[in-house]
Each structure stands twice: as C-alpha cells, then as structure tokens.
Amino acid sequence: MNIIDCHTHTQFSMDSDADIEKCIEQAVKLNLSAYAITDHCECNWWYPKEYYADTDLSEDFNYQADFENSVSAVTKLKEKYKNFNLLCGVEMGQAMLAPDIAEKIISDSRLDFIIGSVHQIKNEKDFYYIEYNKMSMNEIYNLLERYFIEIYNLCKWGKFDILGHITYCLRYMKCRHNINPDLSRFDDIISESFRELIRNGKGIEINTSGIRQGFGECFPDLKYTKMFHDLGGEIISTGSDAHTVEDIGKNIPEGIKTAYDAGFRRLCFFRNRRPEFTDI
Ligand SMILES: [Zn+2]
Ligand SMILES: [Zn+2]
C-alpha cells in the first residue's frame, strides 16, 4: 500500500514543537510515498500579534515569520533528502477573511502543495476555543451553517489544491461535550462545495486525526467521501494532521480504506502545484 501523508505540522506551527529534521527522518523511516510539511498560516492573523490591537488573543503568533521559516527550511531540506518525496506545503487558514494575504501566499513559487482550511468564521472564535456546551442545538446548527457557507465560498474561490478536513469541528463537539449534530441538513451545500472543487480541478483530503483523537472517523467520513467521488471528484489525498513526530502517518491506512470504500483507486499529492497520482 502506498502511504501518503500530505498534512503535517512541525516546529514552525505555533501549536507544534516537532523538530523538522526528526519529522522527515520519521517519514523516511515509514517509507512514505509522499510526505508534505504543511505548517499553519492563518491569513487573517498574518501580521504579528501587536497588529491586531483590539483583539483578546491568548496565544503568541507570527504567521508571516512562521510561513517564511517553514517554507525556506523545507526548500533547503528538499535538497538534502533528494531521493525522498518531500513536498513543501502550507495549511492556509481563512483565505476568504484576508484574500490579499492568501494571494501573496499562493504566489510563492516554492510551494508544492496548498491545503485550504477554515478554522474560524469572521468575527467568531476559532472552532477550537468555542464553548459548545454553552450553546443550544439551534445555535450549533446555525454555527455549522455559517461554517459550510464559508467552506462553499472557499471552494468557489478555489485557488488552493486540497480542501482541509471538512467537518473537523465536529471533533470538539463530540469529544469534549458529546454533542452529535446531524449533518444531513447540510448535504446540499456540501455537494455544491464539492462541485465547485471539481470544477476548479481541486480535491479534498481525508484527514485521519479524528481517529486518534477519539472522534472515531476521518474528516470527512465515508458518506461525504463517497459523495465527492460520486459527483465526479478524482483528487483525494490523505493526511494525519500530525503535530508530533510520533503521529506522522498515523491511521493513514484507515484513511486510504475510506477512500477505497468510497470508490477511489488512486491517491493524489501535488508537486509544483500540479496533481500527481499513486495507486492505492
Ligand atoms: Zn487545520
Ligand atoms: Zn493541520
């Protein structure tokens, strides 16, 4: 089985301190067919913290510096690991909240691979920080509706390569508070988003972090992976969303099985922003 892990973080993400060379060594040891380092770059928080004076941000960050440090380190290490399929990527968050920054990021010719993610909706907290237990089910469904609208707008824009972990916010709801909303009421907007991706020649990832973090399924699960396939989607990658050396490649075989069960027979990664395929 060709194992590809196209969603991983290193020391250049503010929520990881995984040594970048140790990460690559681990990926080599696991004999991955493709390994992309995709450190966080949140477009709406591109500038240093001081720039966002009137916000109550609890964490220190500097995504502009992280982006440059990650991309230049990976670019250099690609030379050192010439015989290994190391890809220079980024997980670009909230492109639609700062499109000028997103344009700047996507124009960087050192990038092989761009994940487009939504971690936050305009003027709302990052999904990680929301206190779902203080919300009614109605409010949760309204929040999910805003999330899927944001995803739709991102897919319509479509200047990334792979849509990141669609439905991942369910993890916080279920794992922390045992809240299990039924997503079927959003099937129309999800399928419209997939159509936009397909129209733009883009794809989705199967993010396996949900398995190791107790959600029990990938993001997205089999139902939505199959929906993407049945609409004509061809571009699908797998990613562990590892933030530690140990988590690289974790549960990727389950992610590949999800892809296979949905009808896919090959996986995709991007090199120089162009899709390349490996058989499952
Ligand atoms: Zn993410
Ligand atoms: Zn990630």
Instruction: Tell me the CA–centroid distance for residue 119 and ligand 1, in Å.
Output: 6
Render pLDDT for 265-277 as a digit per residue (tens, 0 to 9): 999 999 999 999 9
Question: Residue 248 burial by CB count (10 A; 0-12/13-18/19+): exposed, middle or buried?
Answer: buried
Instruction: Tell me the CA–centroid distance for residue 207 and ligand 2, in Å.
Output: 9
Query: CA 232, CA 200: separation in Å to the nearest integer?
Result: 12
Ligand nearest to the CA of 117: 1
Mean pLDDT of 39-47: 95
Q: Which residue range is the domain that position 127 belongs to?
A: 4-279
Query: CA 27, CA 85: separation in Å to the nearest integer?
Result: 10
Ligand nearest to the CA of 93: 1
Render pLDDT for 199-226 as a digit per residue (tens, 0 to 9): 999 999 999 999 999 999 999 999 999 9
Query: CA 230, CA 251: separation in Å to the nearest integer?
Result: 24
Render pLDDT for 58-111 as a digit per residue (tens, 0 to 9): 677 889 999 999 999 999 999 999 999 999 999 999 999 999 999 999 999 999
Which CATH number does the domain housing residue 20 bear? Answer: 3.20.20.140
Question: Residue 55 burial by CB count (10 A; 0-12/13-18/19+): exposed, middle or buried?
Answer: exposed
Q: How many domains does the chain have?
A: 1
Ligand nearest to the CA of 163: 1
Instruction: Tell me the CA–centroid distance for residue 151 and ligand 1, in Å.
Output: 13
